[in-house]
Structure 1
Amino acid sequence: MEKLKKWQTSLLTPPRILAGGFASIIMLGTILLMLPISNANGESLALVDAFFTATSATCVTGLVVVDTGTHFTMFGQTVIILLIQVGGLGFMTMATLFAMAFKKKISLKERLILQEAMNQGSMEGIVRLIQKVLLYAFAIEGTAAALFTIRWAFDLPFGQALYFGIFHSISLFNNAGFDLFGQVSGPFSSLTSYVGDPLVNLVSMSLIVLGGIGFIVLSDLFEFKTRRKFSLHTKVVLSMTSFLIVLGTIVVFIFEFTNPNTLGSMNWFEKFWAAMFQSITPRTAGANTIDIGGMRQATQFFMILFMFIGASPGSTGGGIKTTTFTILVGAVIAMIRGKEDIVFFRNRLAKDRLNKAVTLVLLALGLVIGVTMILSTTEDHAFLMILFETVSAFGTVGLSMGLTTDLSIVGKILLSLTMFIGRLGPITLAYAVGPKNERELYRHPEGKITIG
């Protein structure tokens, strides 16, 4: 019996439980979305389309093969928004909510899984962090839902405005990108009808940024009055996030300024809102206020780079994360300056941080390159469109140039797996499928290789 317990412990590691948990939620979502009650036409949705949609919702991506607002009934849309909420906050976070509601004690193993899910270095204070995650998430979503409802009540019946407000606040905060405006503005229209609306833009962008900076940073922000200081992690995330938003706004504004398919016909006010929104949304959000397919290729490629970087650790977003990108930039700067250490805000980073960052980026690049090459064989579309869709899936972004609806069965399955890996994280998945790490009892002699 003791041997069986040891075998189960070694087999059911936190990364494997996380992977299995997300896979189980996707399977349940697939079954529910296939039901005739979920579909407006009263027929069953094809298995591969239901699987793709459930994966996209659970992995908070937003890529869709059918329009959410027009194809699914309220039941189907409710299934999707529940998948988004569970997938965005994490199934273990939601399980902890129910455990606390029923006054159940959180076990050591559950704390280890939460530590892995929240990308924390230790278990210390993990349950308190989860409580804060739930409090912040529901408070932000509730406030945004109220603001959306007030705004959309001018355009829609109050009941529909309230429903839209709740749905889109959850979708945008979790960086999912699913929308219901196909009912109002036509299928796959997203927020294009509100390209120049200040309230919709501000609330939407705030939700995306707050969901993307991570709950550790949110905790620091909300408790700043008490602590009077930020952690190094928070400083790095806020600095890089602000830099990327400003850079993206400038690039989109300049490259699309005269493009008649995007910003060309807008006034300066609308151009500004549209440029800023398209700067923020590639950071794994998936909503858009202008036609992504109508952008210039230079802008589309720039957005691919932003989607690859993604959001921040411990957030509802994907990508390699802003901190990983910052560490790589810091390593380049340190090397150019002839410095041995990477230093941010007068703090030296440990060497293992750079090793992990390089490992993550190489795994992510390998995945994107491999999937893009396969899709270039199975899908008869332009290479840039295929690359855009692949990175959008990996970064759990949800932006599309129009390829998703034309994907073959192989393409849908491949992008579904890419979304799953992107949400779980390449390193976590490697730990889940790889053998258990054993401590090395010796070190090899040091050697030198010429570089450059």
Structure 2
Amino acid sequence: MFIQNLQYKLHKLNTAQIITLSFAGVIFVGGLILWLPLCTAPGQTTSFSDAMFTATTCVCVTGLVTVVTATHWSLIGKLVILLLIQIGGIGLIALASVIFIYLNKKISMKNRRMIQESYNLEQMSGLVKVVRKVVLCVFAAEGIGAISYGIYFIPRVGLVKGAGQAVFTAVSAFCNAGIDLLGDNSLADYVTNPLLNFTTISLIIASGLGFTVWWDLGKRFKLIFQKKLSFGRFYRTLHLQSKIVLVTTGILLVGGTFLIFLFEYDNPASIGKLTLGQKLMASLFQAVTTRTAGFFTVDQAAFTNGTAMLCLFLMLIGGSPMGTAGGIKTTTLAVLVLSIITNLRGKKDVEVCGRKIRSSYVRSALVVAGMAVSVLFVSLLAFFAVMPDAPFIDVLYELTSAVGTVGLSRGLTSVLNTPAKWIVIFTMYIGRIGPLTLGAAVVSRAQKKSEKVHLAEENIMIG
């Protein structure tokens, strides 16, 4: 009777609620496994809060860690961490769908609707093909990344250890997790290494653009190769989603790189002692990794206040939809900026590239941005209640990184007390499942009620 009631209640859940509960379930199970002594290296002990923190940062592909991954966990623990990162990167719904596909199990209409909504697709047709393409893209990109990393690591630390580091780093980079087996210094020892820098940059950008953009680009390049499309019409034939993502991403990366280079040029604590080319490479890496990757080649606490503020903005924005990146997404930023410009011009419709943005998308952008800022504000208040003496900029950096599932820290993560760890855990969780998904899960019943009563309008003052 209990099982039947449970199945009935689960069947009544909507997609947002299933995604929310599924991620929580995987985090809890993963945390329990990591809590087992066999996952901890000899001479180390793992508290329950550290186990749950690590499981959360893996599934939420954040990268904040309270213990050093390379030395604290056993081989089994590292394999569990790698599996949790992969689950978080591919997405729980897609992963479950893949298992059903390869077991020749039929995917129900409800599960198809879950896939559609979890990937924010316009239509339900061809969903199985979409899931297959997602998984193939993920493994192909990670494989290429592993080979590139292996070229450097294997000759230096041996075949087995080098291959392990290469695979782990490639999966972590493409999934935007920012967790590595290199120690507690991330990629700081390789700040002048072009191969490791540009491999990581490429994986982060590729995953951050989103799968739909890559498929759109691939389709256009194929037409050009077949001489059915000219280079002059390449950009114009792209879907609006791709145009917005590419332009916004380009502006953020170029602008972020230039400003970081400008702010840090003479700062000896960050990039001041590097050559001109190395400064540009380090600046580009920082602009890219703030897009929810979590790796770093320069100590985050060494940056000037200007760079820190810029990084806060980039971390909150994150990557693009239907990718492995977090944040409020580039499309959300673009829609908000376009909406502001539209209102300043006194126009009614939000327009871009000869197309009109639906009003529902504008409202969704406002909800996503508003809830992200609200979660950040509430987390800040809660954090200072349990660690009142923590430096404000470090706390703001930590929690913005958690909300955007970035994983960058100014050194605060390792000194968090237990209540603060749980606040960061909650913040990472909310940041991963998305403010809009959580909001939809909470108010789903209210949304089902149709508004039959239209109230009279009354003016208020704004501004």
Where on the TM-score scale, by shorter chain, does this alignment land: which range?
over 0.9
Q: CA deviation at 1:342?
A: 1.4
Point out where structure 1 has 5 or more consecutive residues left out of the alignment. 183-187
Q: What per-residue deviation string (whole Å, max 9, x for no partner) do you get for residues 94-126 of structure 1?
A: 111111111111111111111222122332322
Tell me the amino acid that sits aligned with residue 459 of structure 2.
K
1:448 aligns with 2:449: no
For 1:328 and 1:367, the matched residues in 2 are separated by 19
Q: CA deviation at 1:308?
A: 0.6
1:202 to 198, 201, 212: 198
Match of 1:422 in 2: 431
Match of 1:146 in 2: 147
Pairs within 5 Å for 1:150-165:
150-165=151-166
Q: What per-residue deviation string (whole Å, max 9, x for no partner) do you get for residues 174-221 of structure 1?
A: 000001111xxxxx2001111111111111001001111111112212
Pairs within 5 Å for 1:93-132:
93-132=94-133
Match of 1:211 in 2: 207
SS of the equivalent of 2:34 reads helix
**CA, structure 1 residues 151+5, in 2 after alignment: closer, same or farther (shift >3 Å)?**
closer
Q: What per-residue deviation string (whole Å, max 9, x for no partner) do you get for residues 7-62 of structure 1?
A: 63773111111111111111111111111121113554100000000000000000
**CA, structure 1 residues 17+266, in 2 after alignment: closer, same or farther (shift >3 Å)?**
same
**CA, structure 1 residues 7+259, in 2 after alignment: closer, same or farther (shift >3 Å)?**
same
Match of 1:439 in 2: 450
For 2:35 and 2:44, the matched residues in 1 are separated by 8
Q: How many residues align?
A: 446
For 1:22 and 1:439, the matched residues in 2 are separated by 30
Tell me the amino acid that sits aligned with residue 218 of structure 2.
F
Q: CA deviation at 1:153?
A: 2.3
Match of 1:386 in 2: 395
SS of the equivalent of 1:348 reads strand
Q: CA deviation at 1:448?
A: 3.0
For 1:377 and 1:91, the matched residues in 2 are separated by 34
Residues 336, 366 of structure 2: 8 Å contact kept? yes
**CA, structure 1 residues 441+278, in 2 after alignment: closer, same or farther (shift >3 Å)?**
same
Q: CA deviation at 1:143?
A: 0.8
Match of 1:134 in 2: 135
226-235 or 379-388, larger mean C-alpha shift? 226-235
Match of 2:90 in 1: 89
57-66 or 74-83, larger mean C-alpha shift? 74-83
1:294 to 297, 302, 309: 302
Match of 1:333 in 2: 341
Match of 1:180 in 2: 181
Q: CA deviation at 1:223?
A: 2.0
Point out where structure 2 has 5 or more consecutive residues left out of the alignment. 224-228, 230-236
SS of the equivalent of 1:153 reads helix
Q: Percent identity?
A: 37
**CA, structure 1 residues 6+21, in 2 after alignment: closer, same or farther (shift >3 Å)?**
closer
Tell me the amino acid that sits aligned with residue 243 of structure 1.
I
For 2:220 and 2:133, the matched residues in 1 are separated by 14
Q: CA deviation at 1:5?
A: 10
Residues 36, 43 of structure 1: 8 Å contact kept? no
Residues 44, 72 of structure 2: 8 Å contact kept? no
Q: CA deviation at 1:4?
A: 7.3
Tell me the amino acid that sits aligned with residue 146 of structure 2.
A
Tell me the amino acid that sits aligned with residue 21 of structure 2.
G
1:397 to 394, 406, 421: 406
**CA, structure 1 residues 6+70, in 2 after alignment: closer, same or farther (shift >3 Å)?**
closer
Match of 1:56 in 2: 57
Provide TM-score, normalisation by structure 2. 0.93
Q: CA deviation at 1:278?
A: 0.1
Residues 35, 43 of structure 1: 8 Å contact kept? no
Match of 2:232 in 1: none
For 1:59 and 1:395, the matched residues in 2 are separated by 10
SS of the equivalent of 2:157 reads coil
SS of the equivalent of 2:155 reads coil
Tell me the amino acid that sits aligned with residue 279 of structure 2.
K
For 1:53 and 1:294, the matched residues in 2 are separated by 26
SS of the equivalent of 1:261 reads coil
SS of the equivalent of 2:205 reads helix
Tell me the amino acid that sits aligned with residue 452 of structure 2.
L
**CA, structure 1 residues 126+386, in 2 after alignment: closer, same or farther (shift >3 Å)?**
same
Q: What per-residue deviation string (whole Å, max 9, x for no partner) do you get for residues 324-350 of structure 1?
A: 000111112112222222111111111
For 2:317 and 2:175, the matched residues in 1 are separated by 17
For 1:376 and 1:178, the matched residues in 2 are separated by 26
Tell me the amino acid that sits aligned with residue 18 of structure 2.
I
Match of 2:419 in 1: 410
For 1:283 and 1:43, the matched residues in 2 are separated by 33
1:320 to 328, 333, 338: 328
Match of 1:311 in 2: 319
Tell me the amino acid that sits aligned with residue 387 of structure 1.
L
SS of the equivalent of 1:154 reads helix
For 1:305 and 1:382, the matched residues in 2 are separated by 19
**CA, structure 1 residues 257+12, in 2 after alignment: closer, same or farther (shift >3 Å)?**
same
1:372 aligns with 2:343: no
Q: CA deviation at 1:222?
A: 2.2
For 2:418 and 2:298, the matched residues in 1 are separated by 28
Q: CA deviation at 1:451?
A: 2.2
Tell me the amino acid that sits aligned with residue 355 of structure 2.
N
Tell me the amino acid that sits aligned with residue 129 of structure 2.
R
Residues 132, 219 of structure 1: 8 Å contact kept? no
Match of 1:185 in 2: none
